[in-house]
């Protein structure tokens, strides 16, 4: 859809000059992620209006909305210095010709006010070349300390309307902060906004912790801790920080826990006498049973969004590969057949793809494939990339990239499913094991 | 420095043994002669963890992705078993490790497999299973920090750590 739009308008501009604006689109303004966007859509944000007490937040909100959109790689902001129209208020009718003249395809207008400890953010979105609003204007309010959430919500609306995809900016990511030398690394679990802001640490770094994973509603975290001296799958309440081992039974190590999409089940790996299999636990009662029973390593289970299937990794063929089985166990079906080793599969929340880590020779990749293993595509390549986690809309993954050598460090990066927009998450310091939580309410 | 640490560790053990109230064991005393003992032979006393490490060897290495024991590993483990059979008052924690090439989860499972291989071999050599425990560190605790095969070789390991105590 987008491609068609871009082609027609580009042709028109090249051949017919001013005739371009006359060309009607055959659908709403739309940019498609899936084909790999080479040319970002130009948009403008008309200077936001202070409707009372906004102060510094006026520019901060506007800048964050712009940063969210340009950070996707799908959009390019036309700088304010190029703007012709200078509307007096949020209600001033849009001077479409002025925005067409600078080739802004989408226009965002907005206003901010602060009252009673709350920030109120209003916005409208316009399709400049068809001269129409794109959806209704909306407003969001939040405590002034949460102004970023109001801005993310507005940006999410713009993103969703222009891409047809689900929103994801207003979300949190659990991760592991790392410090200290490589042979004595200290780790603690943190939670941050998707863009690296508002970090809160949930554990101190006195105990080695690995791989946090959110519950579907974001209220709890599963992770693996060495608090007992042995790797143990734990569950933590994100608000109270109270944590307990998942498995009261003493045995081998338990790790790699993950919730089912309805929160009713937890799947995890349990090791007994050196052999690792996948187990299922009733999150309410704690009752558990094995889902695999093989002498090979079975780990990294992840549910399909409808809860009916589980993808996991197993080295039953001699090397780690990806398999899918029913959520109640049974014979798994192998879905990865490429060269090298596959691991850490995660089912997209949209259900259409599985993201994974693949090692070929000395290189690591984050890749995606259809859930039957077809259309495999590598999104990244480096010395060591691992552990993808899906954004709530299933169109972006965050992962860990480790640099080589004695001073090598992990950093978080995100990439969209076309592999075209890879960027580091803005964080001061080393971090690993991201888990992208749900879209906030 | 290594020699000093060994020396101090033995000193502490002796002090503990001689002390009538081990709970009051104090901090390590700074030895003013610490830098003057070059050329003085220092060796671990029998019946200490240092002695185990020095005589039996505490580490066995594994090929990529493997947990089967090499002939070299079996020789070291036979020595470990011999030592443990002679020192019944000790138990052992076997740590399994992997190199950094591989995902965190897979390496945890692989480390467990390696530790278990060692445990099984020691049991086959007569060491009571109640004296042995395993833990996997996956790729979390490399011995060597470089990112070349030279370091990876040393990191794909299982380390047997003995400590006084008859079991668990």
Residues of B in contact with A230 (CB under 8 A): 135
More confident residue, B46 or A329: A329
Only one residue has tokens 């998450």, namely A425
Q: Is the pLDDT of residue B9 over 80?
A: no
Which of helix, strand or coil describes residue A258?
A: strand
Say if residue A1's pLDDT is above 50. no
* Partner-chain residue, chosen from A297, A387, A406, that has the shortest CB–CB distance to B104: A387
- Residue A300 has its nearest CB partner, among B105, B116, B144, at B105
* Contact (CB, 8 A) for A191 and A202: yes
DSSP B96-120: EE--SSS-HHHHHHHHHHHHHHHHH
Nearest residue on chain A to B149, alpha-carbon basis: A362
- Antiparallel, parallel or unpaired: β A309-314 and A377-378: unpaired
User: Tell me, what's the pLDDT at B10?
Assistant: 39
Compute the average pLDDT of residues B144-150. Answer: 94
B154 lies within 8 A of chain A by CB = no
pLDDT at A420: 87
Domains of chain A: 2-163 (3.40.50.10070), 171-439 (2.120.10.30)
DSSP sequence for A390-436: E-TTSSEEEEEEE--STT--EEEEEEETTS---EE---SSEEEEEEE
Rounded average pLDDT over A192-205: 97
Chain A residues with beta carbon closer than 8 angstroms to that of B68 = none
pLDDT for the residue numbered B72 = 97
Q: In terms of CA atoms, which chain A residue is nearest residue B138?
A: A231
The predicted model gives B101-128 an average pLDDT of: 97
Write out residues 23-62 of B within 8 Å (CB-CB) of A.
none
Cβ-based neighbour number of residue A361 at 10 Å: 7
Rounded Cα distance, A301 and A299, in Å: 6
Inform me whether the C-beta atom of residue B67 falls under 8 Å from chain A C-beta atoms: yes
Cβ atoms of residues A213 and A261 within 8 Å: no
User: Please, what's the b/e burial string for A134-145 (b: 16 or more CB within 10 A of its CB; e: otherwise)?
Assistant: bbeeeebbbebe
Indicate the range of A108-122, A275-289, B43-57 predicted with least confidence.
B43-57
Q: Interhelix angle for A147-163 vs A56-71, to 10°?
A: 40
B106 to chain A: closest CA residue: A299
Considering only CB atoms, B140 lies closest to which of A185, A341, A344, namely A185
* Torsion sign (Cα): A193, A195, A198, A199: positive
DSSP bridge pairs for A343 = A357
Q: What pLDDT is stored for residue A34 in this prediction?
A: 61
Phi/psi of residue B125, nearest 5 degrees: -95, 15
Residues of chain A with pLDDT > 90: what percent? Answer: 89
B168 and chain A: CB distance < 8 Å anywhere? no
Query: Contact B101/A315, CB-based, under 8 Å?
Result: no
A343/B103 Cβ within 8 A: yes
- Does A297 sit within 8 Å of B119, measured CB to CB? no
Distance CA A401, CA A280 (A): 30
Which chain A residues touch B100 with a CB distance below 8 Å? 384, 402
Burial class from Cβ neighbours inside 10 Å (0-12, 13-18, 19+) for residue B9 reads middle
Partners of residue B94 in chain A, C-beta under 8 Å: none
Distance from CA of A178 to the nearest CA of B (A): 11
Residue B70, pLDDT > 70, answer yes
Tell me the residues of A at the B interface, defined by beta carbons under 8 Å apart.
181-185, 208, 210-211, 224, 229-231, 252-253, 255-256, 269, 271, 273-276, 297, 299-300, 313, 315, 319-320, 341, 343-344, 357, 359, 362, 383-384, 386-387, 402, 404-406, 408, 433
Measured between CB atoms, does B94 come within 8 Å of chain A? no
Give the pLDDT of residue B168: 53
pLDDT of residue A97: 97
Query: Which SS3 state, helix, strand or coil, does residue A32 take?
Result: coil
Question: Could you report the predicted ipTM of this complex, rounded to two decimals?
Answer: 0.90
**Quick one: angle between helices B104-124 and B71-86, nearest 10?**
60
Phi first, then psi: what are they for A307, rounded to 5°?
Answer: 75, 5
Residue A110 DSSP SS3 = strand
CATH numbers and ranges of domains, chain B: 1-42 (no CATH), 44-164 (3.30.1330.60)
Instruction: Give me the DSSP letters along A339-378.
Output: SSEEEEEEE-TTSSEEEEEEEETTEEEEEEEETTS-S-EE
Mean pLDDT computed over A286-297: 96
Round to whole Å and give the CA distance between B63 and A331. 30
B111 in contact with A at a CB cutoff of 8 Å? no
HSE value, Cβ hemisphere, 13 Å, CA-based, for B109: 27
Please report which helix (H) or strand (E) contains residue B26, including its range.
Answer: none
Q: Provide the token pair at A306.
A: 């409808």
**B74 touching A (Cβ < 8 Å):** no
Separation CA B66–CA A184 (nearest Å):
24
- pLDDT band (50, 70, 90) for residue B16: very low
Helix, strand, or coil (residue A202): coil
- What is the percent of chain A with per-residue pLDDT over 70, rounded to a whole number? 92
Tell me the mean pLDDT in the region B137-153: 96
Q: What confidence category does residue B165 fall into, taking pLDDT thresholds of 50, 70 and 90?
A: confident
Q: A274–B115: do the CB atoms touch at under 8 Å?
A: yes
Mean pLDDT of all residues belonging to chain A: 92
Q: How confident is the model at residue B44 (pLDDT cuts 50, 70, 90)?
A: confident
pLDDT at A187 over 70: yes
Is some CB atom of chain A closer than 8 A to the CB atom of B108? yes
Q: Which residues contact residue A142 at a Cβ distance below 8 angstroms, ignoring those fewer than 6 apart?
A: A118, A119, A149, A150
A interface mutation test: which of B106, B113, B145 has the most A CBs within 10 A? B106
Residues in chain B within 8 Å Cβ distance of A386: 103-104
Which positions in chain A touch B106 (Cβ < 8 Å)? 297, 299-300, 313, 315, 320, 341, 343
Asked whether the beta carbons of A291 and A256 are under 8 A apart, the reply is no
Contact B109 A297 (CB under 8 A): yes
Residue of A nearest to B132 (CA): A273
Determine the average pLDDT of the residues in A35-64: 92
Give every strand in the sheet of A377-378, ordered side by side. A341-347, A353-360, A363-370, A377-378
**Rounded to a whole number, what is the distance in Å from the CA of B111 to chain A's nearest CA?**
8
- B11-15 LR contacts (CB < 8 Å, sep 24+): B13/B45, B13/B48, B14/B45
Residue-wise pLDDT for A387-439, tens only, equals 999 999 999 999 999 999 999 999 999 999 999 899 999 998 999 999 999 99
Phi, psi of B86 (to 5 degrees): -80, -25
More confident position, A14 or A392: A392
SS3 labels along B44-81: CCCCCHHHHHHHCCCEEECCCCCCCCCHHHHHHHHHHH
* B contact test, residue of A205, A267, A274 with most B CBs within 10 A: A274
Q: A63, exposed or middle or buried, with CB in 10 Å at 0-12, 13-18, 19+?
A: middle
Per mean pLDDT, which range of A26-30, A335-339, B143-147 is the poorest? A26-30
Q: Is the model's pLDDT at B4 over the cut of 70?
A: no
- Give the tens place of pLDDT for each residue, A112-163: 999 999 999 999 999 999 999 999 999 999 999 999 999 999 999 999 999 9
In angstroms, the separation between the Cα of residue A229 and the nearest Cα of chain B is: 8
């Amino acid at each position: 859809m987008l491609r068609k739009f871009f082609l027609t308008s580009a042709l028109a501009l090249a051949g017919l000059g001013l005739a371009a604006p006359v060309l009607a689109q055959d659908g709403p303004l739309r940019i498609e992620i899936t084909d790999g966007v080479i040319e970002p859509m130009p948009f403008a944000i008309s200077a936001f209006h202070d409707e009372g007490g906004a102060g510094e937040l006026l520019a901060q909100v506007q800048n964050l909305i712009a940063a969210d959109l340009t950070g996707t790689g799908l959009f390019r902001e036309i700088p304010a210095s190029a703007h012709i129209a200078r509307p007096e208020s949020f209600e001033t009718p849009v001077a479409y010709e002025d925005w067409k003249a600078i080739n802004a395809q989408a226009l965002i207008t907005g206003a901010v006010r602060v009252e009673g400890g709350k920030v109120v953010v209003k916005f409208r979105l316009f399709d400049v070349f068809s001269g129409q609003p794109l959806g209704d204007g909306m407003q969001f309010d939040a405590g002034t300390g949460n102004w970023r959430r109001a801005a993310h919500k507005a940006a999410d609306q713009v993103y969703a309307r222009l891409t047809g995809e689900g929103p994801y900016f207003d979300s949190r990511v659990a991760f592991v902060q790392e410090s200290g030398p490589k042979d004595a690394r200290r780790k603690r679990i943190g939670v941050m906004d998707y863009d690296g802001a508002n970090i809160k640490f949930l554990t101190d770094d006195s105990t080695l912790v690995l791989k946090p994973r959110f519950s579907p509603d974001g209220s709890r975290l599963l992770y693996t801790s060495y608090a007992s001296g042995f790797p143990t799958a734990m569950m933590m309440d994100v608000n109270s920080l109270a944590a307990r081992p998942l498995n009261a039974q003493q045995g081998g190590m338990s790790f790699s826990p993950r919730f089912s999409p309805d929160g009713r089940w937890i799947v995890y790996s349990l090791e007994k006498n050196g052999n690792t299999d996948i187990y299922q636990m009733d999150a309410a009662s704690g009752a558990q049973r094995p889902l695999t029973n093989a002498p090979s390593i079975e780990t990294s289970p992840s549910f399909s969004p409808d809860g009916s299937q589980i993808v996991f990794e197993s080295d039953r063929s001699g090397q780690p590969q990806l398999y899918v089985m029913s959520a109640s166990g049974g014979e798994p079906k192998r879905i990865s057949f490429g060269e090298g080793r596959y691991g850490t599969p995660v089912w997209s929340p949209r259900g259409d793809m599985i993201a994974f880590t693949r090692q070929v020779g000395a290189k690591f990749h984050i890749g995606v494939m259809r859930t039957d293993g077809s259309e495999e595509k590598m999104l990244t390549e480096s010395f060591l990339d691992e552990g993808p986690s899906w954004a709530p809309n299933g169109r972006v993954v965050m992962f860990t990239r480790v640099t080589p050598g004695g001073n090598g460090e992990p950093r978080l990066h995100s990439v969209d499913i076309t592999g075209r927009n890879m960027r580091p998450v803005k964080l001061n310091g080393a971090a690993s094991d991201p888990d992208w939580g749900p879209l906030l309410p | 420095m290594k020699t000093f640490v060994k020396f101090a560790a033995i000193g502490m053990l002796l002090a503990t043994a001689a002390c009538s109230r081990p709970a009051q064991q104090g901090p390590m005393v700074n030895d003013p002669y610490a830098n003057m003992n070059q050329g003085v032979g220092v060796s671990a006393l029998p019946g200490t963890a240092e002695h185990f490490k020095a005589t039996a060897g505490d580490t066995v290495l594994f090929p990529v992705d493997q947990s089967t024991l090499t002939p070299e590993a079996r020789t070291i483990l036979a020595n470990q078993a011999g030592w443990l059979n002679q020192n019944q008052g000790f138990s052992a924690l076997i740590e399994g490790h992997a190199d950094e090439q591989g995902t965190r989860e897979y390496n945890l499972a692989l480390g467990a497999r390696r530790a278990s291989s060692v445990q099984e071999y020691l049991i086959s050599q007569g060491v009571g299973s109640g004296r042995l425990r395993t833990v996997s560190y996956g790729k979390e605790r490399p011995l060597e920090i470089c990112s070349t095969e030279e370091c990876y070789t040393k990191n794909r390991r299982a380390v047997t750590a003995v400590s006084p105590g008859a079991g668990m």
